[in-house]
Amino acid sequence: MQEEDVKIRDIHVVGLVGSTPDGGWSNELERDVCVHTLVAVTTGEGLTGWGSVFTSGDLVRASLAVLEPLLIGEHALEPERVSEKLHQHTFWQGRGGAITHTISGIDIALWDILGQATGQPVGRLLGGRYRDRVQPYASILMDEPQRLAEHLHEVVAQGFRAIKIGWGPFGRVSHALDEAIVRAAREAVGPDVRLMVDAGGSDAFWPNGLKWAKHTAEMLARYDIFWFEEPLGPDAFDDYVALRRDAPLPIAGGETLTRRQAFAPWLAAGAFDIVQPDVTKVGGISEERRIGWLAQEHGIRFIPHGWNTALGLAA
């Protein structure tokens, strides 16, 4: 393989529409709304790497108008250096926003190309795998108790032994309904299935604060909930620190943050028991693993967020 053959030649974008699932958002998604976009990076030799971006195709295309001059002709087998170059040259044009999201997809695609060129799995290129199996969990939207219980029976029948329930009416109607939902969920799955609760505090105009989160955490602990995710608004830094200190169960969050620099103060302050960066938003695999290292240094569990595509899940 010649040096010039592994240079980046083209970048193509495919916005995914037609089967967009419900997100549980207050401004609910329609099937033809694009919130996930695939990016294909092609080299001179014809290798094509694929990445995934958690944002709309229009924003990815607009970001590529800025990024392409920095990318075309670059070495495709150096994902970390190339991605850092993109970050460094675009700080003043969307630091942490759509440009960072788009870099995520490019970085994933470059790691894909490196794996193809070397004939090695990306996990090995990143330093090696410490395990060959991980426990998957199902993730479903909350509903009124009876319908949720019926849905959970179906999920358990599929073989899942860990399930996250989230969003829907939880935290938006009454504490009594919140507890009824959790009670129905625990009764439906039994005592041996791990059950996690995602309040969805990053939804628009989230109405609840620290007192609600503490009260709800105490209720969830009585039902042996494995973690409490996004119980507060995404900017409630001090409240997260206080909640994590006092809560009787693990607190999870971080899916709305991007870039390792944004995660650093949250990890240093102990805002989370479990940190959940999304590889399709934070800057790709190169950035995600640095966040993982930071989490390890602070004794925080790393369980990435992944409401995106099969490519994003694989990354």
- Kindly give the pairing relationship between strand 37-43 and strand 8-15: antiparallel
**Which member of 87, 101, 151, 305 is catalytic?**
305
For the question of residue 87 being annotated catalytic, the response is no
Torsions phi, psi for 309 (to 5 deg): -120, 175
How far apart are alpha carbons 133 and 154 in whole angstroms? 24
Strand residues in 33-102 grouped as ranges (E): 37-43, 48-53
Q: 189: which 2 tokens?
A: 């799955």
What is the Cα–Cα distance from 175 to 181, expressed in whole angstroms? 10
Backbone dihedral angles phi then psi of residue 40, each to the nearest 5 degrees: -115, 125
Query: Cβ contacts of residue 48 below 8 Å, gap of 6+?
Result: 40, 41, 42, 113
Longest dimension (CA), the chain: 66
Kindly give the pairing relationship between strand 48-53 and strand 37-43.
antiparallel
The pair of structure tokens assigned to 18 is 């037609």
Q: In whole angstroms, what separates CA 179 from the centre of its chain?
A: 27
Q: List, by residue number, the catalytic residues.
A: 305
